[in-house]
Structure 1
Amino acid sequence: MRVRKITLAAVAVVAGLSLTACQNDDDGTGQSAPSATSTSSSSSSSNGGSEAAGSGSAGSDQGSGTDSGKSTAGQGPAAGTGSSEAGKTGKCRTDELEITAMDSTIGGDPDGTVAVDLKNGGGRDCTLSGHAGVDLKTNAGSLSATRTGEPADPVTLKDGETVSFGISYPINDSGGSGVRITGLVVTPPDETKSVTLAWPGGASLPVTDGSGSAVKVGPIGSAGQGG
């Protein structure tokens, strides 16, 4: 019986050792798998981070190239705008014009005519459009000319060129002294600065009933057509 008990005990011990060895193997395997998984995950994460960084670097390079392109494109329209602005023709200013007046009456006409010349001396091309303002200084006060109603087309003057317009007025053949003219005031179209000139026409105007100005002004380019 003693021998049997010892044998059973030995069997139990061996079985226990085998069970322990199996458990240790299972535990090692269980721990080893997570370790491998963790390492794989870490490696994947590391690789993924590197790829992301690479993408960010590429994006930065592309962004830099795009910004450079925009900067270059921005300069193009600016240059075009500047060129367009330089190509525009501005209106003629009073200070750029040499304004003179002369008698242009043709014998036999019922009315007298004064031609006013505007010469571009501003060193650039400029444009005149419409009617100039015309006022006659008289011993009875200022008399403003009225427009003839003719079409007023724009006129572009190159530097040194001249354009004219006409002023018509009634000739004083009444035999009386009439209204004496002492000066001519001309204001170019779209300007507020005036030029005062000597009056080259007839010395006086016939006295009227004051119902309206008998002095007429034609549009720019209408010299001799102010009737």
Structure 2
Amino acid sequence: MRSSTTARTARRRTLRVAVAALTAVAGLTLTACSGSDATGTKAAGQSDTGSAAPGSSGAGSSAGAQGSDGQADSGAKADTKADAKAGAAGKQSGKQSGGGQAAGAGKAGSGVERCHTSGLKAAFAMGGDAAPDPNAGGSTTTSVVLTNKGSRACVIGGFPGVDLKSVNGGERWSLVRSSAKHGSITLGPGDSTDFTINVALTKEDKGFYQPAYADITPPNETKAITIEWPWGTLVDQRSATHPATFVNPIG
């Protein structure tokens, strides 16, 4: 009986040990499976989190881009409206200031150009008192009238150039200028001014000069207006130091 009882007890212990061993093995297997699952979940989590970071960053960038686009658009619209208002105000201000300056300039007389040869006509004054006295002893005067034939006002002043020419133009006499002071004058359309020429007329048949034309060059111009010489002969003093025939300033 004791031997059989002992054998049973040994078998039970063996079974218990085997069961315990199996239980331990099963526990280890479950633990290993559980660990791999947890590790896989964590890796997936890390992977999702890792991919989510660029994704969220991308989403953030995209949102930021949209937001920045939206802000840029709204800012651009605001800037455009502000610029439009500022531009309109600037243009209006420019028009007002420009008009004021133009009006002021017109009133002040600034910006009026000098009289050009193309805008003037010249003629000898032919009235009774304007004609030189052929019987005057020594020197007398004749007047040349300059008229603004243009449609705008112009300023003229100083000494004109006067060149006397013979019939064939071969003999020229450039008249000297006097020492008289001069100013300037504004000629409106159709207005006239004049200057005088001191002339030494002669009736002698020797030592004379007979002009046929006079070239009148306005001050600061290079082109001349040619008019006929209506008077008689002059004392030929083309080589004289102080000739009796000379030009006076305008006005």
Give the TM-score of the pair, scaled to structure 2: 0.68
Which position in structure 2 is the counterpart of 1:52? 68
Asked whether the 8 Å contact 1:120–1:158 carries over to 2, the reply is: yes
* Structure 2 residue identity aligned to 1:166: T
Distance between the aligned counterparts of 1:56 and 1:141, measured in 2?
Answer: 83
Q: Secondary structure at the match of 2:23?
A: helix
Which position in structure 2 is the counterpart of 1:89? 112
1:119-164 CA distances to partner (integer Å, 9 max, x unpaired)?
Answer: 1121211122332111123478221111213334332211121111
Distance between the aligned counterparts of 2:163 and 2:21, measured in 1?
Answer: 144
Q: Which has the higher contact order (CA 8 A, sep 6+)?
A: 1
Give the length in aligned residue pairs. Answer: 219
Shift, 1:116, TM fit: 0.9
* Structure 2 residue identity aligned to 1:183: Y
Asked whether the 8 Å contact 1:116–1:166 carries over to 2, the reply is: yes
Percent of aligned positions that are identical: 22
Distance between the aligned counterparts of 1:212 and 1:65, measured in 2?
Answer: 77
Shift, 1:114, TM fit: 1.1
Which position in structure 2 is the counterpart of 1:2? 15
Whether 1:198 aligns to 2:228 is yes
Whether 1:25 aligns to 2:38 is yes
Comparing 81-90 and 45-54, the one that deviates more: 81-90
User: Please, which runs of 5 or more residues in structure 1 have no aligned partner?
Assistant: 222-227
Asked whether the 8 Å contact 2:158–2:182 carries over to 1, the reply is: yes
Asked whether the 8 Å contact 2:196–2:247 carries over to 1, the reply is: yes
Which position in structure 1 is the counterpart of 2:174? 144
Shift, 1:195, TM fit: 2.5
Which position in structure 2 is the counterpart of 1:224? none
Shift, 1:71, TM fit: 7.0
Distance 1:48 1:109, change over 3 A: farther
> Who wins on radius of gyration, i.e. which is larger?
2
Asked whether the 8 Å contact 2:215–2:227 carries over to 1, the reply is: yes
Which position in structure 1 is the counterpart of 2:160? 132
* Structure 2 residue identity aligned to 1:99: A
Q: 1:119 aligns with which of 147, 151, 169?
A: 147
Whether 1:43 aligns to 2:72 is no
1:81-101 CA distances to partner (integer Å, 9 max, x unpaired)?
Answer: 995999732232333223111
Distance between the aligned counterparts of 1:118 and 1:3, measured in 2?
Answer: 146
Shift, 1:27, TM fit: 2.7
Q: Secondary structure at the match of 1:181?
A: coil
Q: Secondary structure at the match of 2:211?
A: strand
Shift, 1:111, TM fit: 1.9
Q: Secondary structure at the match of 1:219?
A: coil
Asked whether the 8 Å contact 1:114–1:200 carries over to 2, the reply is: no
* Structure 1 residue identity aligned to 2:45: S
Q: Which has the higher strand share?
A: 1
Distance 1:49 1:185, change over 3 A: closer
Asked whether the 8 Å contact 2:177–2:246 carries over to 1, the reply is: yes
Shift, 1:165, TM fit: 1.0
User: Please, which runs of 5 or more residues in structure 2 have no aligned partner?
Assistant: 1-13
Distance 1:40 1:123, change over 3 A: closer
Shift, 1:170, TM fit: 2.5
Distance between the aligned counterparts of 1:50 and 1:169, measured in 2?
Answer: 93
Distance between the aligned counterparts of 2:76 and 2:242, measured in 1?
Answer: 77
Q: 1:157 aligns with which of 177, 182, 187?
A: 187
Q: Secondary structure at the match of 1:4?
A: helix
